């Protein structure tokens, strides 16, 4: 729909929506807006719609096609059913966000009504359990109702295909077109509760069995402070740690239980400032060796190392990725591949070459990492997402915050046995491969045309130097430079191994820039880190000028 819809059209669209909406709450919301003649609010809900893109839907809860609600979800389920066809099997999971269970059961009703077989997970569970279940049960597709680490007001709908990974083009386009063809949802045939298979807790046990067979070594003496950030990861992670032989993690009591309001954090993302404060305080009180956190659907894992002064040094996704990669490579054999994305550190490529394993580089997103190539035993993205495997392969073909947490704990326990920490292991890698320091520059805008303008200026006049380093190569990723599928992005290879990638965010009104410098370590590592910090600051300053968005 276009943004210039008249108030009469908006009112008609709203009344048509009301006539099919099965949810009394969103009907009441919409009726109130109609009664008040609130054109602006109606335009926000009906002037456009949530787009079904790669992996699915995500947005704010509320009435109308530009919100997550029961009508939107039922339409998505009907589109998925049309693409799959009768007789196919779909596994459905959900987290503890508001309406997640309702959306999951609406999905099941639409699928079974269309002649498909639907199975639903027994309770709110981590996203990696659903991704595992698709493979484990040999299903044709999976649906996970989650908004991951989005604000409390949001929910989402993620679709997996039969290979256990998130959908990619052209499948997403086929589902989107099928959704467009769906009529009124109150006319859809719906299955009865008896046509739905309710899965048991045995599936969770099977998942834990799978992740506890990862290469975890034999060191287990480790004190872990952990928070699930009011999400669904706590019980599953604790069970996995105990089954693997680790002590039970010490949990942040205030954040232990699932709560869709996320009352103790401004934003339920472990990367956000303040989100880890309670976990850091717990680590200081209990003299923990390691701090771990999952995001609310537990597909990502944050890692911190407690310091002597009571603070916690949070590791970047690239730092954890390098440590996990080297651990997995040294604990597996055969023809193997490791992979990451174009915006992650170049360190992984050096690690792969040093160990004689294949290396893959993909577009951003785990949907691409998982498809990097055969023999994939480890993949990661800088946004603290990791998939850890063994010689037998990946138990989860998506990012898995539980399996990653277990493996990080194994690495930390082995280091502790030697009187060391993860920070010592990072220093070892810096000496071996050079210090790879990464950072980001994100610019949020109100007017999306500013981002398009900045990208156009950079394409027309690429910078000759950034941060005092010559630009040796400029790749326009929209042309498929580098052998990757075309994407809106620019990559600058600078002298001395530095690199900058600029791309518009796919989910927010932001321009995101990924910075990396490589500093040889000839003396002590702290001096190299200080030099890298100065170099990143210089890159950030020059890039800010080049973007000209302020």
What positions carry a catalytic annotation?
148
How many residues are there in the chain?
Answer: 550
Contact predicate 130/121, CB 8 Å: yes
* E-assigned strand segments in 422-521: 435-444, 465-466, 469-476, 490-494, 499-504, 510-519
Q: What is the bridge-based pairing of β-strands 224-227 and 250-251?
A: parallel
State the residue for tokens 């109702």.
Answer: 145
Instruction: Report the Cα 453 to chain-centroid distance in Å.
Output: 28
Phi, psi torsion values for 256, nearest 5 degrees: -70, -45
Nearest to 516 by CA among 527, 501, 530, 531: 501
Q: What is the bridge-based pairing of β-strands 224-227 and 196-198?
A: unpaired
* E-assigned strand segments in 186-280: 196-198, 224-227, 250-251
Spatial separation of the C-alpha atoms in residues 128 and 438, rounded to whole Å: 27
The HSE-up count of residue 518 (CA atoms within 13 Å, CB side) is: 18
217: left (phi over 0), alpha (psi -120 to 50) or beta: left
Spatial separation of the C-alpha atoms in residues 444 and 126, rounded to whole Å: 30
Spatial separation of the C-alpha atoms in residues 158 and 147, rounded to whole Å: 9
Give how far Cα 285 sits from Cα of 225, 250, 281, 308, 417, Å.
Answer: 10, 11, 6, 12, 22
Give how far Cα 220 sits from Cα of 21, 223, 415, Å.
Answer: 53, 9, 11
Spatial separation of the C-alpha atoms in residues 439 and 382, rounded to whole Å: 10
Spatial separation of the C-alpha atoms in residues 504 and 514, rounded to whole Å: 11
Spatial separation of the C-alpha atoms in residues 291 and 314, rounded to whole Å: 8
Cα three-residue angle 442-448-449, rounded to 5 degrees:
120
């Amino acid at each position: 729909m276009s943004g210039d819809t008249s108030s009469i059209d908006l009112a008609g669209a709203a009344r048509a929506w009301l006539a099919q909406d099965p949810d009394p709450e969103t009907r009441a919301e919409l009726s109130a807006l109609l009664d008040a003649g609130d054109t602006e609010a109606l335009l926000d809900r009906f002037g456009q719609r949530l787009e079904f893109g790669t992996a699915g839907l995500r947005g704010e809860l509320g009435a109308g096609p530009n919100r997550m609600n029961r009508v939107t979800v039922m339409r998505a389920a009907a589109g998925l059913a049309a693409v799959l066809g009768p007789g196919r099997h779909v596994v459905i999971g959900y987290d503890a966000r508001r309406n997640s269970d309702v959306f999951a059961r609406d999905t099941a009703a639409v699928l079974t009504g269309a002649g498909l077989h639907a199975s639903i997970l027994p309770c709110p569970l981590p996203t990696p359990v659903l991704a595992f279940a698709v493979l484990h049960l040999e299903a044709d597709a999976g649906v996970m109702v989650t908004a991951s680490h989005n604000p409390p007001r949001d929910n989402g709908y993620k679709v997996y295909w039969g290979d256990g990974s998130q959908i990619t083009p052209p499948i997403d386009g086929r589902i989107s077109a099928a959704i467009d063809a769906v009529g009124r949802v109150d006319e859809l045939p719906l299955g009865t509760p008896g046509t739905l298979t309710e899965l048991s807790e045995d599936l969770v046990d099977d998942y834990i069995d799978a992740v506890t067979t990862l290469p975890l070594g034999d060191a287990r003496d480790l004190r872990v402070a952990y928070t699930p950030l009011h999400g669904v990861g706590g019980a599953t992670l604790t069970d996995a740690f105990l089954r693997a032989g680790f002590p039970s993690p010490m949990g942040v009591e205030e954040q232990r239980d699932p709560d869709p309001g996320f009352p103790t954090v401004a934003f339920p993302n472990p990367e956000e400032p303040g989100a880890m404060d309670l976990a850091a305080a717990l680590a200081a009180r209990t003299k923990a060796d390691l701090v771990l956190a999952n995001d609310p659907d537990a597909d990502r894992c944050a890692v911190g190392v407690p310091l002597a002064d009571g603070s916690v040094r949070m590791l970047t996704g690239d730092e954890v990725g390098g440590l996990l990669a080297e651990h997995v490579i040294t604990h597996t054999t055969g023809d193997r591949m490791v992979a990451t994305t174009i915006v992650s550190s170049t360190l992984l490529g050096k690690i792969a070459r040093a160990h004689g394993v294949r290396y893959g580089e993909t577009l951003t997103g785990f949907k691409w990492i998982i498809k990097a190539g055969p023999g994939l035993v480890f993949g990661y993205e800088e946004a603290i997402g990791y998939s850890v495997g063994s010689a037998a392969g990946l138990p989860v073909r998506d990012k898995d915050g539980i399996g990653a947490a277990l493996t990080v704990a194994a690495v930390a326990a082995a280091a502790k046995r030697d009187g060391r920490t993860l920070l010592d292991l990072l220093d070892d890698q810096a000496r071996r491969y050079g210090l790879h320091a990464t950072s980001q520059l994100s610019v949020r805008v109100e007017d999306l045309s500013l981002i398009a303008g900045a990208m156009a200026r950079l394409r027309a006049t690429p910078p000759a130097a950034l941060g005092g380093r010559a630009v040796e190569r400029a790749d326009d990723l929209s042309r498929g430079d580098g052998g990757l599928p075309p994407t809106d992005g620019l990559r600058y290879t600078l002298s001395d191994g530095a690199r900058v990638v600029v791309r518009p965010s796919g989910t927010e009104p932001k321009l995101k820039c990924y910075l990396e410098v490589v500093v040889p370590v000839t003396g002590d590592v702290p001096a190299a880190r200080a030099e890298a910090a100065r170099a990143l600051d210089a890159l950030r300053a020059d890039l800010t000028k080049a973007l000209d968005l302020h």
